[in-house]
Structure 1
């Protein structure tokens, strides 16, 4: 399918499900594998205040283009960001966005942000020392880099030369006791100019992909599924991913592969009896393929770094190392450079991504003294994703 055909089809879908054109305008990103820019109706500054029809257009655009960008939102209040995020999934009302285990001292996510005191569902992310922000006098943010998470890291000389890595390809989800959020909103309040470039080297092929400093990378789960062979598509549709209890604590001593897709199996995972108290009923077992409710497309969706086992429809259960190798095999084609949208952050960008349709990854690193300030919000859904075969 050509880009032009895909765009026309997506536009037709949005028009059909919303009952025709609305004041909110959707502009597909030219030449990008996914994504669109949203133009708010005249007079609307706060996207959480959109009327129902315009919001429905925004929601369908999100589920169709998977990543949408609203410009000039640097002043968006945390309360508004939370309200906007909740509108994408009415079942998330009353849920909390971040599990307590995210702040567990053993969790690999423990340094990934600071909560806004008055709106704890909104996380403050970035790099550097911050003062007098959202009621917090002083705090320090640390941008995640592959140096603390990958088994093998780039040398200082390589990093000084501008090379970087995908940190960790994932979906936003606790993957224990809580259902994955439908949408994530990510707001760039203060970001360095996008003029500084970094390069991701693919160690298995030698390819290089140039991105702006600390770009956020996205790939389409639908494209990942489409890239599979017919045999693998059938197998994926009949596979469930089982996650261990407290998965981000379980993998705390393990290290990731150089592509950021999964973990190196060295027996460093914590035994279940050394994890915080857990319940069998809260173990997450999710289909490997999720169905997009607007386009009807199948999306290959998983957080392979956190996966424990794959279970086939015939009852076959793959062990941890085999599960990781299989997921890496299935996912690797989708992160080739031509399939990645790397968002070049500009101050005021509000990026909304369909968390049940894309995977994303942090990239890059900052030099001493460089700072970045962002707000992120996602709220656990009341329902698990489904696969309509």
Structure 2
């Protein structure tokens, strides 16, 4: 077989987007790509949205961090969230990860108990996010016994306050479920089903989301801006999500933390981001919104508020729902050593899977706050 001298991409078979990466023969570490091959990797990511690099079980946290940082020259290299807020007991993200001691920008996520020794850690426990703690209406015991699961929370990796959303997230599978273990997602509104490998990470394309909109909704999306709540993950800490994980159920009395009771915040640091972001390589528009953290929608040109909290959630749900239909999403079933690199400004993603407390799953996740907010170019 001839030596592979340059990076190559193999589109994922029977999937709406995504590709597997074949590294050049001079390295098995994607962080060590030469400038020419890294540029191809970056362009490939913007083109395919999700890249899978197999056999990376020996990738160190330092290498994962340096690779992640390399995608964004504007980054300060710091984690995509304020660590104090991310791990705050008043945040819905509090249980979502533990920092690698020697490289805190890399988070350990997963499930189960682990002995001391992993990356300098003492014995530690991880808890897989479950819809039972986050959705307003949950699956019953019989549905779970039949192998049902849910999309936990569709989201963009981003603090959505003060810090600009990361360009890229890297996710490395170290201990993963057996790929023969399958679970099912049942769409309550259409009764469609999607079979997924247990613990699969689901991805939905912002490009496809925009293309699926009616002309009227495209016009709306192109001309409106999302205002995110200050400290959004604390703002919704007491709230529950819709059963598809796309947004939050608005309840009476309201469960959101009053703005006056949030940690100190500044109006200038509240994130106001376009509903549609432009892909820097393909120039395609991507409908990109974190539906659980939405606070208002405003007219981009006038600054007029066109939808407050409850209506803003309903509008965002309507816009995004078609993109998470079974035929439009890619659900990555993990192999040990898979490194998923995804364009965090081009897709939204969600955890899936129901795990027992004793079951082990271990992953390393890294994203870094950008120095610049995403933009919508003129179309």
With the shorter chain as reference, the TM-score category is: over 0.9
Superposition CA RMSD, Å: 1.1
8 Å contact kept, 1:22–1:54 = no
2:282 is matched with which residue? 295
**1:342 correspondence with 2:331:** yes
Deviation at 1:367, TM superposition (A): 2.6
Per the TM alignment, residue 334 of structure 1 is displaced from its structure 2 partner at its CA by 0.4
Checking the alignment, whether the CA contact within 8 Å between 2:80 and 2:159 is kept in structure 1 is: no
Quote the offset at 1:22 in angstroms. 6.8
Q: Is the 8 A contact 1:22 1:57 kept in 2?
A: no
Corresponding position: 1:103 with 2:92: no
Question: What does residue 133 of structure 2 align with?
Answer: 148
3-state SS of the aligned residue for 1:317? strand
In the alignment, the residues of structure 1 paired with residue 271 and residue 357 of structure 2 have an alpha-carbon distance, to the nearest angstrom, of: 40
Cα pair distance change 1:22/1:92, threshold 3 Å? farther
Match runs of 1:231-242 below 5 Å: 231-242=216-227
Alpha-carbon distance in structure 1 between the residues aligned to 2:93 and 2:244: 19
Alpha-carbon contact 2:109-2:364 (below 8 Å) kept: yes
Corresponding pairs, count: 369
Q: CA deviation at 1:369?
A: 2.2
Query: Contact 1:196–1:213 (CA<8 Å) still a contact in 2?
Result: yes
Deviation per CA, 1:204-241, whole angstroms, max 9, x where unpaired? 01111100001000011000000001111011000100
Report if the CA contact (8 A) 1:218-1:342 is conserved.
yes
Distance 1:368 1:90 in 2: 40
Q: Give how far 1:279 is off.
A: 0.9
Structure 1 unaligned runs (5+)? 1-20
Question: Does the Cα contact within 8 Å between 2:77 and 2:369 map onto a contact in 1?
Answer: no
- The correspondence for 2:353, drawn from 354, 364, 367, is 364
1:34 to 17, 34, 55: 17
Matched residue, 2:242: 257
Question: Deviation per CA, 1:111-142, whole angstroms, max 9, x where unpaired?
Answer: 00000011000000110001221111111000
Pair 1:172 & 2:161 matched: no
| SS class of match (2:86) | helix
Correspondence for 2:56 = 73
- Contact 1:33–1:340 (CA<8 Å) still a contact in 2? yes
1:253-292 alignment runs, 5 A limit: 253-266=238-251, 267-292=254-279
In structure 2, the residue corresponding to 1:137 is in which secondary structure?
coil
Query: Is structure 2 residue 39 aligned with structure 1 residue 56?
Result: yes
What is the match of residue 115 of structure 1?
Answer: 99
Gaps of 5+ in 2: none
Paired residue for 1:246, among 211, 216, 231? 231
Q: How far off its partner does 1:317 sit?
A: 2.7
Within the candidate set 222, 230, 243, 2:207 is matched to 222
Q: Decide whether the 8 Å contact of 1:22 with 1:53 is kept in 2.
A: no
Q: In the TM superposition, what is the alpha-carbon distance from 1:366 to its structure 2 partner?
A: 1.2
- Distance in 1 between residues matched to 2:349 and 2:225, nearest whole Å: 21
